[in-house]
Structure 1
Amino acid sequence: MSDLPPLETGVTGIRSRFVEDINGLRMHVLEAGTAGRPCLLLLHGFPELAYSWRKVMPALAAAGYHVVAPDQRGYGRTTGWSADYDGDLAPFRMLNLARDAVGLLAALGLRSVEAVVGHDFGASVAAWCALVRPDIFRRVALMSAPFAGVPPLPLGPQKPVPKPDIHAALATLPRPRKHYQWYYSTRPANAEMQQAPQGLHAFLRAYYHVKSADWAPNAPHRLPGWTAEALAELPGYYIMDLGLDMAAQVAPDMPDAAAIAANAWLPEAELAVYAGEYARTGFQGGLQWYRCRTSGLFEAETQLFAGRSIDVPAVFVSGASDWGVPDPRRGGADAGRGLQPHARLPPDPGCRALGAAGAACRGDAAAAGIPGGLAGRLTGSGGRARSRERHRHIVYRNGSDAAGSSRPGFSAAPRRDRTRHPW
């Protein structure tokens, strides 16, 4: 894999290269804009790539930013990581992923960035970057995946409280189910997706489709609680049928030929880039991130930061078809208030729904990721670019800058893109 050339995106204004010796990695990076301009670091999620930001990077560069998007550890053309299921998971733990980001910036000669922007699992990395090194990551934007906060470190003697086995309860439902993150943590998951019976390209088409606003059953509502019966209300790509793998789970919802031909946010040629990369690397690199989460192996390490919050200006953007944050107009929880313990916010964090019918944020949308207009507001400098898709988003923001001034800071403009992805 080390002999691969940088990816040719085919997008005017985006260049690609490798950056050596990044925390043990040879990191593949996409860039747009002029080095020396204010920098934005974009971190993708699963199953994504740096390529997922291709439609927003030129807009951000045109707004005056130097935009950097790496293939993160375990993905794409970045090398130096192991896909061995029986290997060491420690390199994939969250604090080491944040260390990867710091190392990349250092190699680029950057002491700080204007903002770090993360989507899906990349939002978790972005959140930890902002929490641990606010001097480097001056602002943060989280997309689709809320930050759950630092694991608490209880004070004083604690009586053990037995926790219900949610997985056993899911398995005994009339329609037996299982949680997708625990499926992703199993040994067979990688091969079952990479070697999907319908073919990898077709699997990814169906997978991305069911996680988009194009899939009509995506109608989020507030769940009554963390019970098997409540979780079973989630779509099958979240709470899977017990006897199915992910390829089989999404296969029945494969869009027809006409829908594929009409898809403007992820044409076949662009989907082929994903299929080609994952055919070569498999999914295990990304799945290792899930295994770190579900195993709990590294929770004690993060408790070093117990009681800390994200204190830099922060914005959260989610689609109205995103199950991660329910739509308040459908009776869901207020996204901003739900996250308030983990970021310093004004009394009214300003969660609001925008537009008509919506979805969350994926880089494959028209200007997916974060548009120039919002990025300008992240830095208080304005911004010209706007995306063109007609979809509603829920926006949660901290309206002050790092110094506590009252300038717009993270006041978010209506942003519109096409698709959604889960936390």
Structure 2
Amino acid sequence: MYNFLLVLLSTVLCALPSSAIEGLTRQSFSTKPFSTDGRWMTNADGVNLTYAGVNWPGHGETMVPEGLQYLSVAEMVQKIKSTGMNAIRLTWAVQMIDDILDKRSDGQLGTAFVAALGETNGTKVLNAVLDKNKAFTKETTRLEVFDAIALECARQGIYVHLDNHVSKAGWCCKTDDGNAWFGDEFFGTKNWERALGFMADHGKTWPSFVSMALRNELRPVSGSRDVPVNWDTWYGNMTAGAEAIHRANPDLLIFFSGLYYDTQLRPIFYDGGFRDIDFDPSKLAYKDKIVLEVHDYDLDETNCTNKRTKLTRDSFAALGPISPKVKTVYPLVMSEWGFSQSPDQYAAPFAACLGQFLPEQRVGWMIWVLIGSYYIREGEQGKDEPWGLLDSTGTKWRCPECITKGIMPMIQNTLGIEPPVANA
């Protein structure tokens, strides 16, 4: 793996003129480490950072980031860059690290696709990935694909945010999938903490690696399994996970998600009679690294005033002391939201409201989702993703109007920049 990384980094840097290399190493990412200052994420020079990005899934059964049978890593990152976005939320599964550390598998591409898709289709998809990504071979590991994406993001000026989406690789999120809550069927807390530390340490070689999330969409557990879901359990496990990240890589910002599919954050910042926890960051070694994350898929709420009120109450009040009961101010990122990519949807109340509200609040966000189909999702191979920015061929925007009239103006308003012309 180490030799692959050196060869890849050398290839990336040698392809750049010296002026571009200087910009990469001395300008774009020379101001790490990042920290927090009240409601802001800031770099080492005190400059505020706001994310405007997209989710790139890598937590499916193959445990390989999606879409690489259609576009190379460089082409995929260029599609992101062409919109003006500055970040990706790259998802991963604990199972990938368990395979490595428990010696069950080194996760080579030559076996990963066949194991997930079967001999015939797995070989077909593998060959397409290798054809598009000439630096990869059958012996390239899944983790080396993550390395390649991170290094290409650095070359093109895109920040990397890692998100632990699941423990057992597969589609998320249900209450009965075994990944829902600490101690659930597949959610072993010790393996999870170990994996967080491993990925935090491994990513030290990634120039644009800024932040890392603890867990995606914690939720109640259905069925007969006796798994208590409460804020006290949340606090003990989340602080242990954050400590694992911080020990391994103290430069990283650490994203805390809340309960109920990451929609409820109030007990973290609100002094309003929640008896379960007293989240006091001043007691924590990583007190200046904490960022809160929230998700919103409430497409049924058509009244923007109501949506703003709900979001402010449950999460956005963390940005500032609008009430005497807000005990601590934090940065906040909406790390998931999205909509079916069709011309009528980007202007519908849900997307239109968030398209105004998030930039007004100067809140970072990552839209779900980049890719237009999955290697496999819930047993269906090549499953189409109507929420994907890319179409089912994986090469063009599914809804160009959604990009140019909806998402790109939102990026511009969030970052205060003039977006480039998106690639077709």
Q: Which has the higher helix share?
A: 2
* Both proteins in one fold, TM over 0.5: no
Q: TM-score if structure 1 supplies the norm length? A: 0.30
